[in-house]
Structure formats: C-alpha cells, structure tokens
Structure 1
Amino acid sequence: MRALSIAATGMAAQQTNVEVIANNVANINTTGFKRARAEFTDLLYETERAAGTPATDDETVIPEGNTVGLGVRTAAIRNLHMQGTLARTGNKYDLALNGIGWFQVQGEANEIVYTRDGAFNKNQNGQLVTLDGKLVIPEITVPDTASDIIVNQAGQVYAVIGATGTQQLLGQLAIANFPNETGLDPLGGNLFRQTTASGDAIIGNPNDPGYASIQQGYLENSNVDPVKEITDLISAQRAYEMNSKVISAADDMYNVITKDIR
C-alpha cells in the first residue's frame, strides 16, 4: 500500500522542517545569524496511464492521465541572508556591516572564511581578532600607545595616539561579496566557507558601490523573526500529525484486507 510509504516521506520532511525551525529559534540572539528555511520537492510519479495516449483504435486521445505521486523529499535548506537590525553597543571594537558584504577571517590552515559577526577585540599582540581569537583579514595591529580606535564607514582604521589626539592610519578593512550567498557553506561559530556554488569572493572596500558600509560601535542582530518561526512550527506540527493520521488510516485499511483474506 503506497499510502504508508508516501505518508512516511511526509513525516520525515516535516521532521526536518521542525529541526530547521528549532535551530533558528535557538540562534535568535546569535550575532549575525541568518535564518534557514527547508525547501521541499515532490518525488517521482508512478504512471499507470499517460495523458495523450490513444483511447481506442481511432484517433481520440486520453485528455488526462493516471499518475500517483510517491511522496516528498528535502531539496535544500536555504540560508536567508537578509540583514538583521543593527544594535548599538558602544564598544569601539564592535563593527557591523550595513549592506551586502562579509568580513574576512583567517580560519584553520590559513584558509580564509567569512562572517557577519563583527564582535572583534585585540589579542596579546594588539591584532584585531574575533571572539574565538581568529585574525581579521587584512591584519590590523593596534599599538600599545593608542588611547582610542576609530573605524570610519569606508573601513579605514585609525588609532588616536597620545594626549594630543594625533590620528595614525593603521590599515584598510576589506570585505567580500559573492555571486551566490546562499551557496556558502556554514561552518558554525558564525563562519562561512566559499564553495563552488557560492562562486569566488569579490573583494572590495566598505562603502564602495555594491558593498556594505561599516558602523563602529554596532552589531548586527539575528534576522530570525520569532512570530514567523512559531507560526511555521505550528504549521509543521499540524502537517506531521496529518501524515501520521494517513499512516493510521492506511494501516486500518490494510488490517481490513488481511482479516477478509483470513
């Protein structure tokens, strides 16, 4: 009985849907987090009589076929890279991207990875790093004599030196854009890796046309909408229950058949 296997695929799909929603809700306060959405597609169809085949020996054809779908499968889990709201922190090392772009970070084995989480700090050498100690690329080193740090919207980093307030240019931050952001590979820790699907990183300066500007003293909030997630969760739960009822109904029908045979 095909209904059993079809409904089972529906239950598996909704379970995946709930897992994606759960991950979104769990990261509702994660800086720079991008919510995900499960995408589904129907499975192959079993055709008993195809539309357009001859009805009889004459030239008439069947206007409608007889096909039965075999269920559903998860096609993709898409990360939705809409920008979250910017929250003021007042921390001079917190940097938010207002627009399209990614900070570059030095990952494992000197691999360049990408993040929207601009909660940066200094390490023991004065280098600008992430909260996990990964170097921000290009490298920026803040001298011990700096009394303040200024990052403008174009990504130029200045240190205020001494009591006179002399500004010393420390370097220029660069950010990356991608032809297909949804193709980036999430690594955890608010980091993403370039893939063949994402295309090669296109490096540019902040505030250039097509690139985000930098807002010092701000962080980007998660783009998770709690109301939408709860609504989606209820919808997924109801769909799961409906598929389970189909399995129960199909099982009852199967029992009727087996009892009649006995």
Structure 2
Amino acid sequence: MSFNIGLSGLAAANKALNVTGNNIANVATTGFKSSRAEFADQYAASIRGTSGKTSVGSGVTTAAVSQQFTQGNITSTGQSLDLAINGNGFFVLSDNGSKVYTRSGAFYSDKSGNIVDVSGNNLQGYSADTDGKLQTGVLSNLKIDTSNLAPKATSSISETVNLNSSATTPSVTTFDPANSASYNYTFNTDTYDSQGNLHALNQYFVKNDTDNTWTMYSTIDGVTPNDPGAVPVVPLVNTLSFNSDGTLKDITVPTGSTGWTVKTDGTLALTDWVPAAKAADGTWAGNGAAPSATGITLDLLSTTQYNAASATTSKDQNGYATGELTGLSVDGSGNLFANFTNGQDKVIGQVVMANFANTQGLTPIGGTNWKESFASGVAIIGEPDTGTLGDIKSSSLEDSNVDLTAELVNLIKAQSNYQANAKTISTESTIMQTIIQMT
C-alpha cells in the first residue's frame, strides 16, 4: 500500500510541476489564463468495512486542473485593432463557421478586409449598412470597408453671432462686398454641394441707425446664389430686428428684395441655390452638382445685439466632402469607426462579446481559445459594457494573468513534494529489504 501511496504522490507532484511549468511558459502570452492543479485524497476502505477512525488513505488523485479567469493587466500598444476586455466576457471568433472564444485581442485586417486573429479566425460582430445603422441580432464576420465616404450636400447651417450694438451706419451707404467701408461685419461659412465641392457662404452685416436694425447680405462664392452668372451680383437681402434686451426679434425680407425665405419657426431657407464653378475666363456657371434635396436651412435664432465686438462664437453645418479612409478606432461599447480625411467618422460594425454561466466548464483548444461545452452552458452574446459584460479598451492588449513570483514558489513546493514522496517509496523499499533478510 505504501508503494501505491508514494506513487500517487509522485504523480500528483509531477502534475503540479506540469501545470506550473505551463503557466511560466505562457507568462508573456496575450490573453492567457493561468491554471492550478487541484488534488483530492483517496480512501480504499468500504463504508461497510472498518471504522473511518482507523482507515488509512490510499494516496492522492488529481481532482481537476482549473483555469483562473482573473483580469490580466491591460497594456497600451498603439495599434487600432488591438483590443482588450476590461471585465467579464470573451471575443467571439468564427473558425470556418465553428464558434470559438478568446481573450486575446490581437486582430489584423487580411487582404479582403476581414478582421482576423493570427490564426485566420474571423472576429464576429454586428455589421452596419451604408448609413451606419447596425444590423443587430445577426452575427457576421466584421470587415473593413476601404471605399471612400460619399460626399454629403449641406442642408443645415447653425450660427451664433453677436452684432455690436454700438456700431454705426457705414460711411459708404451703397453696399459693395469689395468695399469694407460699406458694411460693419462679415464672415464666411463652408458649404458643400452633392459632389463634395466646397463653397463659401458669404454673409455681410450692415447697421441701420435709423431703426436700429441690421441688414444681412448673402452671396455664395461671391456670386448670386440662384444665378451664378448674373452680372452684377445680386445678393440675398434680409433685415434683422432686435428686442430691447438684445435678443433677436425677427428676420424679414425687405419689400422689393429677394432674400432667404423666413420659415414659421424663424429659421431661414434657401431652396434655389445653383452650385457653380469659376471658368478660366472668370465667368461663373453651374458645375453640374446639386444642392441638398431639401435646400439649405440657416439657423440664426441665437443672434444677439450686445455692446461687444461683432463676432461669430460658433457655427456648424452638416455637409462634407469626399473622404478617404485614414484609420480605425473602437470605443468602449465595441463600435468600430472608420476615420476619413474629411474629419468624418462612420460606424462600420460593432464587436460583440460572449459570457458563460460556468467559465470553468469551457474547453481549452489551444491558441488561447476555448470552446463551449455542456459544463459551460451556451454562450450568452451581448454588446460590450452591458449587463455583466466588460467594456473594450482599444489599442491595448490584455497580458497573461500569471503571477510569476507565485509560480516560482509553486515550483519549489512541487519539487519538495516530489522529493518527499520519493523518500516514502525509498523508505518502504528499505523496510521490504529488511523483511526479506529476516526470512
């Protein structure tokens, strides 16, 4: 019996050495989760046999080798497709249609634009349509669309302007955009047509001391908005009136003039703009592009007349030129953004995560990957940073969770255990030799 007990101890110590050695070997493996050997004692006596008070154990057995799914340190890498999970969950991969799960987030783009790991497994998530709307509910291979972002014609402009209440009527009473003495303040706002061509909305403001109003003259690219070839240039004309506290009262179109159309909500509308280009001879003509289908809405409702320098404190417009892909970024919720040269970001997909009722029941298959099993339960798929799922750190990787110092101590303990069990066998052998010599 003592021989068997000693042999079981040697086997257990050897198993502990193997587990510890594997942990140490993977101390630098991204997303690796350390393991520990768990042992249980053995008894050969029947419950109907001798009393448990006098039973002697028959050695030790390996009850389990369990993995420790504790969080590893997160290290920044600067690579946009390096992803780390902060919290619970696993990335979902497709290995030729078979689902596997990993904590290793070192991903790349293959020649077809698919996001894959080093083994060629496809990262799973929700794809997005051409408008950036996620197709949730159906997992698919995430792919990077490298095509240019189509331009968008400007349909909305918002401006916050203050016009100096202490300003006086200009010395030149006939407005002339080429003569700064004929207006008090001016600025330009970028706008785009359907082909992504840039145009400048020019706005000039002239103070009228007589009735304490301001006249706004508007051109686009310095020409008549609805007739770019017109000579002379005929700007749009609107009158801005203010309340006694300096807030905007209303905007009107002077009698006999053409200006921005005043909508019922107080904003302005331009529906007949003709995008144009300048020819070599200096003339202007339509460039074949179109404005926004709904025209341009100009919001000047935040305009004020205070005793401060005339200034534009903010402005915004929703158009943009054609954009070329410059990079990728991922937010904490797994949204994958394509970044373009025109400053726009577009959602092209969302990384999903999986979790299990019993992560200890997952089956390791190598490559820092696991598969679900009957013991783990089915995968629960969800969006990052929801429920019990962790969030995603982009441009980062999760290090191995191996504690090297602790593993080195475990090596010493396993070695001592091995030597002690070997001594048990050696002692039993000496006793047997003594008995044989007595006979």
Q: Normalising to structure 1: TM-score of the pair? A: 0.91
Q: Deviations over 1:120-159 (max 9, x none)?
A: 0101111111111110012221122421111100011110
Matched residue SS, 1:67: coil
Q: Which runs of 5+ in 2 are unaligned?
A: 126-140, 148-324
Cα deviation, residue 230, structure 1: 0.4
Cα deviation, residue 30, structure 1: 0.1
Aligned position for 2:75: 87
Separation of aligned partners in 1, 2:367 and 2:347: 30
Q: Deviations over 1:162-189 (max 9, x none)?
A: x212111101111001001111000101
Q: Aligned match of 2:119 in 132, 143, 165?
A: 132
Aligned position for 1:69: 57
Separation of aligned partners in 2, 1:124 and 1:202: 31
Aligned position for 2:144: 142
* In the alignment, structure 1 residue 42 sits paired with structure 2 residue 29: no
State the AA in 2 paired with 1:133: G
Alignment of structure 1 residues 99-178 onto 2, 5 Å:
99-107=87-95, 109-138=96-125, 139-145=141-147, 146-161=325-340, 163-178=341-356
Q: Which runs of 5+ in 1 are unaligned?
A: 52-64
Separation of aligned partners in 2, 1:66 and 1:190: 47
Separation of aligned partners in 1, 2:118 and 2:342: 31
Aligned position for 1:247: 425
Cα deviation, residue 220, structure 1: 0.1
Q: Deviations over 1:175-212 (max 9, x none)?
A: 00100111100010111000011111111100112111
Aligned position for 2:169: none
Q: Percent identity?
A: 36
Separation of aligned partners in 1, 2:345 and 2:50: 79
Separation of aligned partners in 2, 1:126 and 1:199: 33
CA RMSD between the two structures: 1.1
Cα deviation, residue 44, structure 1: 2.0
Aligned position for 1:180: 358
Separation of aligned partners in 2, 1:112 and 1:140: 14
Aligned position for 1:212: 390
Count of paired positions: 245
Matched residue SS, 1:169: strand
Separation of aligned partners in 1, 2:98 and 2:2: 48
Q: Aligned match of 1:227 in 405, 423, 435?
A: 405
Matched residue SS, 2:61: strand
Aligned position for 2:375: 197
Matched residue SS, 2:120: coil
Matched residue SS, 1:49: coil
Greater C-alpha Rg:
2
State the AA in 2 paired with 1:96: A
Q: Deviations over 1:188-246 (max 9, x none)?
A: 01110000111111111001121110000110000001100000110010010000001
Aligned position for 1:57: none
